């Protein structure tokens, strides 16, 4: 937590600097940041960026620690179709889609609402989809030491849709399988079977 407090402290008073930089970008693009339509744009963009990256100020351990419950349950728990958005760290363009999370507990479960919150914490940072997928799975594994964790993410990337290859219908799917989801094919197939109806075709 100490490093998060340090980040919060360092951010204090930097809002104006960020707004000034956004105004400078507008100038470099050939625009007039003082014209009516752009006058408040630096302020709006600064607030939007702060919201899009607020995950840096959130501790995933804290999010989960107040919602861990001892229970004798050893069947698969799935939370699927979790909507998310994030910013691609390569172009600062959004990517967005759905996340499906499963785990098999071993003495502890996580409050169901905390799993979407965990997805949110990691997605509201500059990301690549592959790392985001692994971070969610590893955070759950570390928090409750389950028998296994599985995360599948499907997303559309504006950096592919708006520029570069310009493929509007391309969909990226990533997965992270830990524990029994990695070692046991039947468990993995059960998970995929239970979520596939939620995956877009």
- Between 65-74, 79-88, 91-100, 141-150, the lowest mean confidence (pLDDT) is in 65-74
Active-site position among 89, 130, 142, 189: 89
Catalytic choice (46, 99, 129, 147): 129
pLDDT of amino acid 200: 52
Q: What percent of the chain has pLDDT over 90?
A: 83
User: What superfamily would CATH give domain 2-52?
Assistant: GTP cyclohydrolase I, N-terminal domain (1.10.286.10)
CA atoms within 13 A on the CB side of 78: 19
Tokens of 5: 């407090």
Mean pLDDT calculated for residue range 166-189: 93
CATH architecture of 62-198: 2-Layer Sandwich (3.30)
Domain boundaries, the chain: 2-52, 62-198
Is 58 a catalytic site residue? no
Structure tokens at 31: 């625009």
Our answer to whether residue 88 is catalytic in this structure is yes
Q: Which stretches of the chain are DSSP H helices?
A: 2-11, 15-28, 41-52, 60-65, 114-123, 129-144, 158-161, 180-183, 185-195
89 is catalytic: yes
Neighbours of 91 (CB within 10 A): 15
Q: Is the pLDDT at 4 greater than 90, yes or no?
A: no
Residue 2 burial (CB count, 10 A): 5
99 as an active site residue: the answer is no
Active-site residue, from 15, 159, 182, 190: 159
Contact assessment for residue 150 and residue 143, using Cβ atoms and an 8 Å cutoff: no
The pLDDT value recorded for residue 79 is: 97
Model confidence at 199: pLDDT above 80: no
Q: 3-state DSSP call for residue 54?
A: helix
Confidence (pLDDT) at 162: 87
* From 24, 54, 90, 145, the catalytic residue: 90
Residues 96-148: tens digit of each pLDDT:
999 999 999 999 999 999 999 999 999 999 999 999 999 999 999 999 999 99
Whole-model pTM: value is: 0.89
In the residue annotation, 157 being an active-site residue is answered as yes
Q: Which of 15, 43, 58, 91 is catalytic?
A: 91
109: which strand partners? 69
């Amino acid at each position: 937590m100490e490093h998060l407090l340090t980040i919060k402290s360092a951010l204090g008073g930097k809002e104006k600097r960020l707004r000034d930089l956004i105004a400078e970008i507008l100038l470099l693009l050939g625009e007039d940041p003082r014209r009516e339509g752009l006058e408040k744009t630096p302020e709006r963009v600064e607030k939007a960026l702060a919201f899009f990256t607020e995950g840096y100020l959130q501790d995933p351990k804290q999010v989960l620690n107040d919602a861990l419950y001892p229970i004798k349950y050893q069947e698969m728990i799935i939370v699927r179709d979790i909507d998310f958005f994030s910013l691609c760290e390569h172009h600062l363009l959004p990517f967005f889609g759905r996340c499906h999370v499963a785990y098999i507990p071993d003495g502890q479960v996580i409050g169901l609402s905390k799993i979407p919150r965990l997805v949110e914490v990691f997605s509201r940072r500059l990301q690549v989809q592959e790392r985001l997928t692994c971070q969610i799975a590893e955070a759950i594994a570390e928090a409750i030491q389950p028998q296994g964790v599985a995360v599948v993410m499907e997303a559309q990337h504006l950096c592919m849709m708006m520029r570069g290859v310009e493929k509007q219908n391309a969909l990226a799917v990533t997965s992270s399988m830990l524990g029994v989801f990695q070692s046991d094919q039947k468990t993995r197939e059960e998970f995929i079977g239970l979520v596939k109806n939620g995956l877009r075709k």
